[in-house]
Amino acid sequence: MVDSLVLDEALSIPSIIDKFNHIDNNPYQNIANLINQKKIKYVVTIARGTSDCAALYCSYLFAKHLGLPTYSMPPSIITLEESKFDFSEALVIVISQSGKSSDLVECEKKSRSMGAKTIIITNNDLSPIVNEANYFFNMFAGEERSVAATKTFTQTLLVLTKLIFICQGKKNINDDIKKLSESLLKDSINQWNENIIDNTINTGFIIGRGVGFALSNEISLKFKELSQEMIEPFSSAEVMHGPKSLIQNSFKLFILGMNDKSGLTVNQDISELKNYTNLLYQLTSDEKLKSEFYYLSNEILEFDSIILMSKFYPWIIRYTIKKGLNPDAPRYLTKVTQTF
């Protein structure tokens, strides 16, 4: 077994979720009160990289479950363009694993000055934003030393999902999270096989829909930063509008099947595309498909995203190692990226 820091962190996801219920003291009810009292009319997310993939997930669930229009704001709109907004009825969610990116610090500060209620979701309780934002939500992932974020992504999904459930008045969410952690710990012995993918082909698509599209963005990012493969994310509703022209034999096609209403349409949306390539891989909880990328679905479908990513991260790291690359030192990358 090859020693790898990022692999150790990815494999720790089930135990981190197991600990989460015992230490989580985030102010979910404060946000629920704001939303339920109709003081929030829309949500803005601000993030970069993996955190922005979590923000995309957040956007979909806030709109779907809480009826709040949610927009992912490019930080440059605030930092470089210096645009002005009336954020008096906005909840601005800044997501940053490190909490140190200068553009995100500036965005939080200016959003608050424009009237927003601000949340910082970070894994760093020493971040300068923690004491400035209206609300601080801790990811509780433990120190993440690897350049490639893994456990902080799944913890962000967990924090956001719990927030949405509490806004909906769900009473037993902590019990549900406990059951999730027990299931993940039990299933952790069942790892995906890194040898089933042709590692000489470096181009392809990862196709999902709904929250599956948010996950597709993060999966694509990990293929790029770790294994140096151009696996592009697309919504199954969009790929038919032109990008499908790229598909041919020796082109990887990953199909991400989730179990919500949007996710269940994916196979139907792209049934035609399966005929165009000999490299088809399905990430699914459907046992009948007998896929090598099988994950065990949860009775709470919103948790499926966490389950799937807890399977994917160790796999992509082992796959990267098999390619002769070092996942602990992705080429050109650093832990904290400054873009302002």
Give the pLDDT of residue 340: 63
Same fold, 5-175 and 194-322: yes
- What average pLDDT score do residues 121-134 get? 92
For domain 5-175, say whether CATH 3.40.50.10490 is its number.
yes
Give the pLDDT of residue 101: 84
- Main-chain dihedrals φ then ψ at residue 187, nearest 5 degrees: -85, -5
Identify which of 248, 218, 216 has the alpha carbon closest to the alpha carbon of residue 233: 216
Give the pLDDT of residue 335: 61
| Position 288 pLDDT exceeds 70 | yes
Give the helix/strand (H/E) hosting 46: strand 42-46
| Position 332 pLDDT exceeds 80 | no
Identify which of 78, 76, 58 has the alpha carbon closest to the alpha carbon of residue 68: 58
- Provide the CATH number for the domain formed by 194-322 in this structure: 3.40.50.10490
- Pick the more confident residue, 37 or 335: 37
Domain boundaries, the chain: 5-175, 194-322
Give the pLDDT of residue 228: 96
- What is the DSSP annotation of 278-309? SEEEEEES-GGG--TEE----SSGGGHHHHHH
- What average pLDDT score do residues 172-187 get? 96
Give the pLDDT of residue 242: 82
Say if CB 200 and CB 229 are below 8 A apart. no
- Pick the more confident residue, 275 or 118: 118
Could you report the per-residue pLDDT of 297-316, keeping only the tens digit for each? 999 999 999 999 999 999 99
Give the pLDDT of residue 271: 86
Confidence of residue 1 (pLDDT cuts 50, 70, 90): low
Could you report the per-residue pLDDT of 263-282, keeping only the tens digit for each? 999 988 888 888 889 999 99
| Position 336 pLDDT exceeds 80 | no
| Position 90 pLDDT exceeds 80 | yes
Confidence of residue 338 (pLDDT cuts 50, 70, 90): low
Specify the pTM: 0.95
- What average pLDDT score do residues 303-332 get? 95
Confidence of residue 100 (pLDDT cuts 50, 70, 90): confident
| Position 149 pLDDT exceeds 90 | yes
For 83, the 3-state DSSP assignment is coil
Using a 10 angstrom Cβ sphere, with 0-12 exposed, 13-18 middle and 19 or more buried, the burial of residue 285 is: buried
- What average pLDDT score do residues 91-98 get? 94
User: Residue 285 has what DSSP assignment?
Assistant: S
